[in-house]
Structures are given as C-alpha cells and as structure tokens.
C-alpha cells in the first residue's frame, strides 16, 4: 500500500516573497481562540507554547496586514481574546477552501484505490457538525464513533471540542447541527428556550475526586460515611490546592454543585481556577504539579496516566443523594425553527445510530483494549 497522502497535506502562507507561515498552525490557532476565548487556552489545546502562538499571530497580522484578534485585559469578565471580523472571515474562507481541498484529495486517493473502505469511489457528500464536550474528544471516543458512522452511512460527522456551556453557545450561534454535553441544568435551559428539538442520553460514567498520592489533606483517613461532601469539606478546611475547571463546562458545574452540598463557598489562594488549561487533562496535570486535588470524570483520570495521582472518593453508598456522581452524556438535535439550515434528518440518523446496537457496542467497549476496562457505559 502506498503512502497516505492526506497526512502530508499542508497549507503555507506566503505573500509577495515575505516570510512563509504555517497556515495549518495559524488557522488551528484561530479556531482554538474562538473556542477557548484566550491565546493561552488555545496554546494549551494545541500543545504549543504561548510564546510560539503569540509570535505566530503577530507575524501573521504583519504579513497579511490584518488585525486578526482583539485582546481585552482585565475588566469584569476577566479579559480574554476574541477574533476580529477580519479574523472570522479569514477563518471561514480557510475552512471552505480546506474542505474543498480535502474532498479533492480524498477523491484522488479513492480513484487510486487508497482508503476505499472508508470513502468508496466518491468523497462524502453529506456532512454534519457537532459541538462536543471535551471528554468524548480527549479520550478518542468521538473519532471512533464518527469513523464508524461514516462506514455505515456515508455521512461525515466533524466535531468542535468545547466545554458543555461553550458547546451549547456554539449551537445557539447556529454553527452546528447537534450538541453532545453532560450538564443537565444547561441542557434544560437550552431545551426550554427552544434551541433543541430532541434530546437523548447515549452514555454514562462517573465523576471522581483525584489528588496527589501524598494526600496532603488526609482524605484517605476519612470514613465512608463522610461521603463526597465530607471530602470537599476536608479539602477546604485544609486549604490544600484544588484545581477547578472554571469554564462553565459540565465538569465545572457538577463540581460547584458538590461544593454547595458540602456547604462551602470555595475561595482563596487554595482554590485555583484553570480555565486557561486544556480541559480535564490540563486540570489533572496542574493538580499533580501543585500536589493538590481536582474533580474530573473517571475516563479522563484513567487516560491521563498521571502516576502520582490517585482517586480519593470513598466508596459510594447506594441511594445516598450525596453521592450523585453519575455523569450522563446526552445528544441534542438543534431545532430547525431556530436555526433553519441545520440538517435535522441526518442529525437524527446519527442520534439513532448512537443509541442503536452498533453505536452502543462501540461506546460500551471503548477503552477495554487499551487500558483493560471500558471508559463509558452505554444506555441500552
């Protein structure tokens, strides 16, 4: 079999003989700034340094003669970075060009007999866009499901990775056909406002309290009767570093709920909001560095591979509301009455496939081969 040409497709920007720029890196950076709301957050999501990303932006703006981002320092909202109108337009034009180029490349490969199992003799002509909570993306599950659905249906699903709150906002902006989230309060508001037309659970796992094996707050000495609320109260009383996602994601919202149940208002130097790090893996890394604790879903913990981190949630007691640590992921189809251009029929097909035997089998077995146990539980 010949070399897969798709892995060599790159875009280089060069105007009037000036310095060449990596178009792939630049547009990936712009996309991640739009999702995360900051250059540091975008850099973390890309696995690049802030210095490189900031330098790339400055060089691109100088070369192109365009203002691509608008930085806001401080203020009530705490500052951040957004794309300018020119930045958004450039990104939109790049996406349209890249999609066409990708389709042409796949068509060429199909004609040459490469990747025939996936693309057949023609590139996919039907596309869906999903705003997905980060857990399904970071674990690799979303890529697996999208590829399997393409095999089955010929419909290509692409995703934008974001915390649940941001994912729902992206849907309100009319940018996606469906949303995968795990934030019940936000989901209810989304449905009540008429943005969603159908909502279905597709899988579950659970949340855990993870921390340094040194256990500076002494959580290991708590009795099972302390419950999750007791664990949170002990962390606050000890003033041990606690890393919060701080990004209105499903994980962050459930963490805040646990503080309320514990009767604690988290504040002070020990409570560290980490909205500028990359999701749960970033929160776990920071907790490891600070020798503290954080709150993540079990799949994220198992895949992070932080050797000096452990789980300090005492064993759950059946029927105890203090132990409502179940983490339910739902898919919501965007209402075409609010966003007329959504592809409802194909989105419904994807939703039905996820809840069917093939999708549920993939979900319930995912992780068994790599780490010896499934990371999610299906709803069948």
Structure tokens that stand for 317 in this block: 């007691």
Instruction: Please write the tens of the pLDDT for every residue from 154-165.
Output: 999 999 988 899
Strand ranges inside the chain, DSSP E: 12-13, 21-22, 69-72, 80-83, 126-132, 155-161, 178-181, 196-212, 242-244, 271-273, 293-297, 309-311, 326-334, 377-378
Domain boundary among 108, 123, 138: 123
* Residue 49 within any structural domain of the chain: yes
pLDDT of residue 79: 54
CATH number at residue 91: 1.10.10.10
> What share of residues in the chain are helix, strand, coil (percent, to 5)?
50, 20, 30
* Contact (CB, 8 A) for 157 and 350: yes
pLDDT of residue 329: 96
* Residue 197 within any structural domain of the chain: yes
CA–CA separation, 326 and 260 (whole Å): 17
**Residues 96 and 30 grouped into a single domain:** yes
Which residues, given as ranges, of the chain have pLDDT below 70? 1-23, 73-79, 95-123, 275-278, 313-324
Instruction: Please write the tens of the pLDDT for every residue from 136-149.
Output: 988 899 999 999 99
Q: How many domains does the chain have?
A: 3
CATH number at residue 188: 3.40.190.10
What is the pairing mode between strands 69-72 and 293-297?
A: unpaired
Domain boundary among 71, 95, 123: 123
**Residues 216 and 320 grouped into a single domain:** yes
* Residue 292 within any structural domain of the chain: yes
**Residues 138 and 119 grouped into a single domain:** no
* Residue 1 within any structural domain of the chain: no
**Residues 107 and 150 grouped into a single domain:** no
pLDDT of residue 62: 80
* Residue 211 within any structural domain of the chain: yes
**Residues 210 and 237 grouped into a single domain:** yes
* Residue 2 within any structural domain of the chain: no
**Residues 261 and 303 grouped into a single domain:** yes
CA–CA separation, 248 and 58 (whole Å): 30
**Partners of residue 331 on adjacent β-strands:** 180, 200
**Residues 266 and 341 grouped into a single domain:** no
Closest residue by Cα to residue 284 from 275, 276, 294:
294
**Residues 200 and 338 grouped into a single domain:** yes
Burial classification of residue 38, based on how many CB atoms lie within 10 Å of its CB (0-12 exposed, 13-18 middle, 19 or more buried) = buried
**Residues 214 and 286 grouped into a single domain:** yes
CA–CA separation, 240 and 365 (whole Å): 37
Domain boundary among 123, 155, 182: 123
**Residues 276 and 366 grouped into a single domain:** no
* Contact (CB, 8 A) for 43 and 90: no
pTM of the model: 0.66
What is the pairing mode between strands 271-273 and 242-244?
A: parallel
What's the farthest any 2 CA atoms get from each other in the chain?
A: 70
**Residues 119 and 134 grouped into a single domain:** no
Q: What is the DSSP string of 217-270?
A: T-GGGS-GGGHHHHHHHHHHHHT--EEE--SS-HHHHHHHHHHHHHT----STT
Q: Which domain holds residue 19?
A: 7-123
CA–CA separation, 55 and 354 (whole Å): 42
Burial classification of residue 281, based on how many CB atoms lie within 10 Å of its CB (0-12 exposed, 13-18 middle, 19 or more buried) = buried
* Residue 130 within any structural domain of the chain: yes
**Residues 307 and 341 grouped into a single domain:** no
């Amino acid at each position: 079999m010949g070399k897969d040409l798709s892995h060599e497709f790159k875009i280089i920007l060069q105007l009037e003989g000036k310095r060449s720029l990596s178009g792939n890196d630049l547009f990936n950076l712009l996309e991640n700034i739009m999702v995360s709301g900051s250059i540091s957050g975008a850099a973390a999501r890309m696995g690049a340094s802030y210095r490189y990303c900031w330098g790339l932006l400055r060089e691109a703006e100088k070369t192109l003669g365009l203002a691509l981002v608008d930085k806001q320092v401080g203020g009530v909202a705490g500052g951040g970075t957004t794309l300018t109108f020119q930045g958004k337009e450039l990104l939109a034009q790049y996406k349209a060009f890249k999609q066409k180029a990708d389709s042409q490349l796949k068509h060429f490969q199909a004609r040459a007999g490469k990747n025939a199992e996936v693309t057949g003799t023609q590139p996919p002509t039907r596309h869906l866009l999903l705003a997905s909570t980060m857990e399904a993306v970071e674990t690799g599950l979303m890529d697996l499901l999208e590829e399997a659905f393409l095999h089955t249906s010929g419909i290509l699903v692409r995703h934008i990775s974001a915390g649940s709150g941001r994912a729902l906002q992206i849907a309100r902006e009319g940018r996606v056909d469906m949303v995968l989230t795990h934030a019940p309060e936000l989901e209810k508001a989304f449905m009540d406002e008429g943005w969603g037309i159908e909502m279905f659970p597709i899988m579950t796992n659970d949340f855990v309290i993870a921390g340094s094996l040194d256990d500076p707050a002494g959580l290991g000495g708590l009795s099972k009767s302390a419950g999750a609320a007791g664990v949170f109260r002990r962390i606050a009383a000890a003033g041990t570093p606690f890393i919060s996602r701080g990004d209105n994601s499903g994980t962050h919202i459930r963490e805040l709920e646990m503080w309320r149940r514990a009767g604690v208002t988290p504040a002070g130097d020990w409570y560290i909001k980490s909205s500028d790090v990359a999701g749960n893996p970033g929160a776990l890394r920071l907790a490891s560095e600070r020798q503290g604790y954080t709150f993540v879903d079990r799949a994220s913990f198992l895949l992070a591979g932080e050797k000096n981190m452990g789980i300090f949630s005492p064993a759950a007691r059946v029927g105890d509301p203090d132990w409502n640590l179940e983490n339910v992921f739902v898919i919501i189809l965007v209402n075409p009455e609010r966003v007329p251009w959504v592809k409802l029929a194909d989105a419904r097909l994807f939703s039905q496939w996820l809840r069917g035997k093939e999708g549920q089998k993939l979900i319930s077995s995912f992780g068994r081969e790599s780490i010896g146990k499934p990371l999610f539980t299906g709803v069948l």
